[in-house]
Amino acid sequence: MAQGSWRRVGQGRRSLGTWLLTLLLAALALLATLAHGPAHALTPEQALKIAEGDSDERIAALAQALSAGADQADPALGPFVEALLADEVKLAGGRVFIVQGDAARDAATGQAAPLPEGAEDVVNNNRIRRALEAARSALQLFSSDAAERSRAIDGLKDGADEALLPLIDRAMAAEREPGLKDKLEQLRAAVMVSASDPAKRLQAAQLLGESGQPATRALLLERLGVEDDAGVKAALTASLAAVESRLAWGERLGVLFSGLSLGSILLLVALGLAITYGLMGVINMAHGELMMIGAYATFLVQNLFRQFAPGLFDAYVLVAIPASFVAAALVGALMERTVIRWLYGRPLETLLATWGISLILMQTVRSIFGAQNVAVENPSWLSGGLQVLPNLTLPWNRLFILLFAALVLVGVALLISRTRLGLFVRGVTQNRRMASCVGVNTARVDTYAFALGAGIAGLAGCALSQVGNVGPDLGQGYIVDSFMVVVLGGVGQLAGTVYAGLGLGVLNKLLEGWQGAVLAKIMVLVLIVLFIQKRPQGIFALKGRSAD
C-alpha cells in the first residue's frame, strides 16, 4: 500500500482527487510506519548479519534490508553499503562499526562510538562485493542526481534479474530524463528476455538489439542457448547481429589504437636514433641506456616531489620531462666529447665503443640504484582511462604518450628544418668539409646534434616509465626495435621513421591479435628481414647527391 502511494506521488498525477487520495495514503503509510516502529530501519542485528557470516547468509541479509524497496530503505543503509565497499567496516563484540580515519561510529545508529580493542576487519569476497555494488546501485536509482542515477543503471546492467523488476518499474515511472528512461528500458528488456511469456520475450529481444553493450551480447548468447520459441530465437539472432556489428567497431578501433600506441612508443624511442644514426651516422649501441637514464631521471624527480612537495605530486611528470631530456643530453654530450668524436667514419669501432659505454652505464646505474626495478608511479591524471565506446577504453597514459610523441616529432622536425642549429646539422652531415669551409664549427655542431639525439632518447625514457618497468635493463628491450624502425624507415629520413614506427606498431598489434604475442614478434622480424632484402635503403631513400 505504501509503495503504491509513493509511486503515484512519483508519477505526479494531476487531478485533484488523486492528489488528495495520495496524500491520504501517504499519511496512512507514515502512521503505519510509526505504529510498528521503524519497519525498514537498519537494526544493529541486521547490520551484523550483513557484515558477518557465510556469503549466502550475508547476501540474504542484504536482500532483506532492501526488500521493502530501495526507495524506502533506512537512510543508514546507503552509507553502510558504501563503507563496506570501501573496506571501512570493523567488527567487535557483536557490534558493527564504520571506521573512517580515526573516527568510528556505529553502523546502524550512526552515532559516534569508540572502537574497542581488537576490532576485526570485515572481509568481502567478489561475490559479496558484487551484491553490495548492486545494492548501492539500487539505492542510487532514486537519487536526485541524474549522473548518479545513470551510474546506478549501469551498475545494475550485469546483475539484473526478476527480483529487480518492481524496482525498475518504479524507477521508470519516476524517471524524467529521456536518455535515462531509454537506459532503464534496456535494463527492463534485459530482465524481460527471460520472462515466461513468449510475447514479452520477443519484445525484449527486439529491444535489446539497440544496445551497444558487451554485457548485452553475453546475455543474448546465453538466451540463444536456452530459447525454444522460434520467433523469439529469430529476434534474438537479429539483435545479436546488430549488437555485434556495433561492438565490432569498438574492437577494430581498439586494435588500431593499441597499434598506434605501440607505434608512438616505437617512434619516440627511434626519433633520437634517427638523429644520431640517421643524420650523423653514429651506430649508437648505448641509445637504449640513454633512455634508461631518462627513465631514472623521472624516478628521481618523482622521489623529490614525494619528499618535498607531496601536494604537487601529480605534477611531477611535467618537471620530469625537461629533467630527463637534460640528464640524457648531458650524458650524450659527454659521450660525444670523450669517445665518439674520435671515431667518426669508423662504424665498427663506434659500435664496439658505444656498446662498451652501454655496459658501463648499466653497471653504474646498477651500483647506484640497485639491480632491481624501481617503482615509478603514474600521477592520478595518467591513471585510468577514457571510455569512448562501451567496449573501448583508452588508457590516459597511452593517450598522453601518443600526444607527447606527436609534440616531440613536431619539435624535432621544426628544429631540424627551421633553426640555425638544424641548418648547421644538415650542412655538416651532408658535407662536412664544405660546412667547415664556410665557418661552421663542425665539432661543436656534432656535440650539439648528438646531445639532441640523446636528449630525445631521454624523453622516450620518461614516457616509457609511465607504461613499463624502470630498471637497469630498460634500454636492452628497445635497442633492437629502435634500430629496426630507423633502418626500415630509411636512414637519414625523419618522415621514414614516422611511417616505419607507426606502421610497425599497427602491424605488430594486428598480428598479435591474430597469432599471439610470441609469434607476432617473430613474424614482424621475418617481414622486416624480407623487406630489407628487397629494399636495403628502407621505405624512404634519400635521392640526389647527398644520398651517399
Partner 1 sequence: MNTSRRQAGKALTAIALAATGLGASTLALAQGSGPIKVGILHSLSGTMAISETVLKDVALMAIEEINAKGGVLGRKLEPVVVDPASNWPLFAERAKQLISQDKVAVTFGCWTSVSRKSVLPVFEGSNALLFYPVQYEGEELSANVFYTGAAPNQQAIPAVEYLMSKDGGSAKRFVLLGTDYVYPRTTNKILRAFLKSKGIPDSDIMEEYTPFGHSDYQTIIANIKRFAGAGKKTAVVSTINGDSNVPFYKELGNQGLKATDVPVVAFSVGEEELRGVDTKPLVGHLAAWNYFMSLKNPANDEFTKKWAAYAKAKNIAGHKDKPLTNDPMEATYIGINMWAQAVAKAKTTDVDKVRAAMIGQTFRAPNGFMATMDPSHHLQRPVFIGEVRADGQFNVVWKTKGPVAADPWSDFIPENKGKKNVPVMAKK
Q: Do residues 59 and 128 touch, judged by C-beta distance below 8 A?
A: yes
Closest approach of Cβ 293 to partner 1, in Å? Answer: 17
Nearer Cβ to partner 1 (46/261): 261
Q: In 3D, which of 79, 445, 50 has the Cα closest to residue 435?
A: 445
Between CA 461 and CA 477 the distance in angstroms is: 12
Q: Candidates 122-130, 334-342, 439-447, 536-544 — which segment interacts with partner 1 by CB under 8 A?
A: 122-130
**Residue whose C-alpha cell is 619516440:** 268
- Residue 367 or 546 with smaller CB distance to partner 1: 367
**One character per residue 188-217, x = contact with partner 1 (rule: CB under 8 A):** --------------------------xx-x
Least distance CB 33 / partner 1 (angstroms): 34
Using the contact rule CB under 8 A, the part of the chain among 6-14, 18-26, 230-238, 250-258 near partner 1 is: 250-258
Please identify, among the stretches 267-275, 283-291, 304-312, 465-473, the one whose residues bind partner 1 according to the rule CB under 8 A.
465-473
Using rule CB under 8 A, residue 316 touches partner 1: no
Nearer to partner 1, 148 or 244 (CB): 244
Contact call for residues 500 and 509 (beta carbons, < 8 A): no
**CA dihedral (418, 421, 427, 430) positive or negative:** negative
* By the rule CB under 8 A, 254 interacts with partner 1: yes
**Footprint of partner 1 on 20-59 (CB under 8 A):** 55-56
Task: Give the whole-angstrom CA distance, residue 455 versus residue 460.
Answer: 9
All cell numbers assigned to 216 = 548485452
Q: Is 241 in the site for partner 1 (CB under 8 A)?
A: no
> In the complex, what is the shortest distance from the CB of residue 368 to partner 1, in angstroms, rounded to a whole number?
11
Burial of residue 147 (CB within 10 Å: 0-12, 13-18, 19+) is exposed
Binding-site residue total for partner 1 (CB under 8 A)? 62
Q: Which of 138, 137, 148, 129 is nearest to 85 (CA)?
A: 129
Q: What angle do CA 516, 520, 524 make, to 5 degrees?
A: 175
One residue of 31, 218, 312, 315 binding partner 1 per CB under 8 A: 218
Determine phi and psi for 97, rounding to 5 degrees: -120, 145
Residue 545 is classified by DSSP as G
Q: Is 11 in the site for partner 1 (CB under 8 A)?
A: no
**What residues numbered 344-383 form the site for partner 1, per CB under 8 A?**
366, 370-378, 383
Q: Decide: helix, strand or coil at residue 104.
A: strand
- Cα→Cα distances 330→99, 358, 361, Å: 51, 15, 13
Contact at 8 Å (CB) between 539 and 499?
yes
- Residue 127 binds to partner 1 (criterion: CB under 8 A): yes
DSSP3 helix / strand / coil % (the chain, rounded to 5): 70, 5, 25
User: Could you say which residues in the range 468-487 bind partner 1, by CB under 8 A?
Assistant: 468-469, 471-473, 477
The answer to whether residues 43 and 51 touch, using CB atoms and an 8 Å cutoff, is no
The reply on whether position 467 binds partner 1 by CB under 8 A is: yes
Nearer to partner 1, 267 or 452 (CB): 267
List 99, 113, 255, 352, residue binding partner 1 (CB under 8 A): 255
Chain residues binding partner 1 by CB under 8 A are 55-56, 87, 121, 123, 125-127, 129-130, 133, 158, 214-215, 217-219, 221-222, 225, 247, 251, 254-255, 257-258, 261-262, 366, 370-378, 383-385, 387, 391, 393, 395-398, 467-469, 471-473, 477, 509, 512-513, 516-518, 521
